[in-house]
């Protein structure tokens, strides 16, 4: 699929866990400003794909190129890359013993080398953006799951990422909290953030995605614009998957 201004490019990416071939010749290009939603059955390799994109997982073969540069193997270049391609997980992974403000500021001072005052100023602006300005001095346990996930999004944004990866960001949330997180993500999409989102929220896929990527058994089986994918899935696997979840 031709993409005008590639930001994330995977070419021929393969990975095994022992005998299990979890990523099979993955070719995927994500354009700058594009929102790609990745769906597929449990165990199809969606999380591994996300983690490969910022090298939380190594891969055995193939190329991963971020903004024209090959993904670094290790060291400072890798830390920089991880700051440029942020990740938001199902479990929010906040530091329990630090305030909300400190959670958002910490990596800014450590990785971006910002002064604490500067980091805190940016953190407060980001907390305002995700609707949590009033909660800066609380601890994570004092917040709801939806609020904690919005803190995690603010923390990822604080690194000025070129792209954000979301791995099932609403799967651990009570139903009434899902929308507040999806609304923040919708706003990010409208603001032009490049996003790769693994999710089961098909409403989000329909309204926010430029493209839906359907994975099964470690392969990208098909990819298409959401209206096309949902109304006219081409593969049996996709049809079967959609019949179970829609
Ligand atoms: P998904 O996110 O689509 O559910 P994953 O990428 O988490 O799929 O997993 C793909 C396959 O790889 C699954 O069969 C899973 O059990 C297996 N797997 C994932 N992580 C590991 C690991 N660290 N070691 C061994 N197998 C793993
Ligand atoms: Mg997963």
ipTM of the complex: 0.98
Q: What pLDDT does 1 receive? A: 67
In the numeric block, the tokens 């997180």 are attached to: 181
Q: How far is the CA of 116 from the centre of ligand 2 (A)?
A: 35
Looking at the CA of residue 57, tell me the nearest atom of ligand 1. 23
Q: Which ligand is nearest to the CA of 89?
A: 2
- 51 Cα–ligand 1 center, Å: 11
Q: CA-to-CA distance for 95 and 2, rounded, in angstroms?
A: 41
55 CA distance to ligand 1 centroid (A)? Answer: 15
C-alpha 90/C-alpha 166 separation (Å) is 8
Strand pairing class (163-167; 194-198): parallel
Measure the CA–CA gap between 12 and 213, rounded to whole angstroms.
16
pLDDT at 78: 81
| Residues whose Cβ atom is located within 5 A of ion ligand 2 | 46-47
Using CB atoms within 10 A of its CB, is residue 71 exposed (0-12), middle (13-18) or buried (19+)?
A: buried
Cα gap 24→235, rounded to integer Å: 17
- What are the residue ranges in the chain where pLDDT is below 70? 1
Q: In 10 A of CB 123, how many CB atoms? A: 26
Angle CA 16–17–21, to nearest 5: 40
Tell me the CA–centroid distance for residue 133 and ligand 2, in Å: 31
Q: Which ligand is nearest to the CA of 49?
A: 1
The structure's pTM equals 0.95
Strand partners, 9: 29, 65
Supply the residue whose CA is at minimum distance from atom 7 of ligand 1: 47
Q: Which atom of ligand 1 is found nearest the CA of 51? A: 6
**Residue 121 CA, ligand 1 centroid: distance in Å:** 39
Scored b (16 or more CB within 10 A) or e, 197-222 reads bbbebbebbeebbbbbbbbbebbbbb
Query: Which residue CA neighbors atom 17 of ligand 1 most closely?
Result: 43
What is the per-residue pLDDT for 213?
Answer: 98
**CB hemisphere CA count around 192 (13 angstroms):** 3
pLDDT for the residue numbered 195: 98
What is the best residue among 13, 16, 19, 20 to mutate for testing ligand 1's pocket, by most ligand atoms within 8 Å of CB?
20
| Separation between Cα atoms, residue 27 and residue 235, nearest integer Å | 18
H/E element holding 82?
helix 75-84
Task: List pocket residues of ligand 1, CB cut-off 6 Å.
Answer: 17, 20, 22, 40, 42-48
CA–CA separation, 172 and 9 (whole Å)? 29
Residue 150: φ, ψ to 5°:
-70, -35
Distances in Å between the Cα of 230 and the Cα atoms of 20, 115, 224, 240, 246 are 29, 48, 9, 12, 10
pLDDT of residue 232: 95
Q: Which ligand is nearest to the CA of 44?
A: 1
Nearest Cα to Cα of residue 132 among 107, 87, 100, 98: 100
């Amino acid at each position: 699929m031709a993409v005008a201004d590639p930001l994330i490019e995977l070419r021929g990416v393969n990975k095994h866990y022992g005998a299990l071939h979890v990523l099979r010749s993955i070719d995927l290009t994500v354009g700058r400003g594009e929102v790609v939603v990745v769906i597929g059955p449990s165990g199809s390799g969606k999380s591994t794909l996300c983690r490969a994109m910022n090298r939380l997982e190594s891969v055995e073969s193939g190329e991963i190129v971020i903004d024209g540069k090959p993904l670094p193997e290790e060291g400072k270049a890798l830390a920089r890359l991880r700051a440029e391609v942020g990740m938001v997980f199902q479990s929010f992974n906040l530091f329990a013993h630090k305030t909300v403000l400190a959670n958002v500021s910490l990596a800014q001072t450590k990785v971006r080398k910002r002064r604490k005052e500067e980091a805190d100023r940016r953190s407060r602006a980001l907390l305002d953006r995700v609707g949590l300005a009033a909660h800066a001095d609380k601890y994570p346990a004092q917040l709801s799951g939806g609020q904690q996930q919005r803190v995690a999004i603010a923390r990822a944004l604080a690194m000025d990422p070129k792209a954000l990866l979301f791995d099932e960001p609403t799967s651990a949330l009570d139903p009434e909290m899902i929308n507040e997180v999806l609304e923040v993500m919708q706003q990010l999409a409208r603001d032009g953030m490049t996003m790769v989102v693994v999710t089961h929220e098909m409403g989000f896929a329909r309204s926010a995605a430029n493209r839906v990527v359907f994975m099964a058994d470690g392969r990208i089986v098909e990819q298409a614009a959401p209206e096309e994918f949902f109304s006219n899935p081409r593969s049996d696997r996709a049809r079967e998957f959609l019949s179970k979840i829609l």
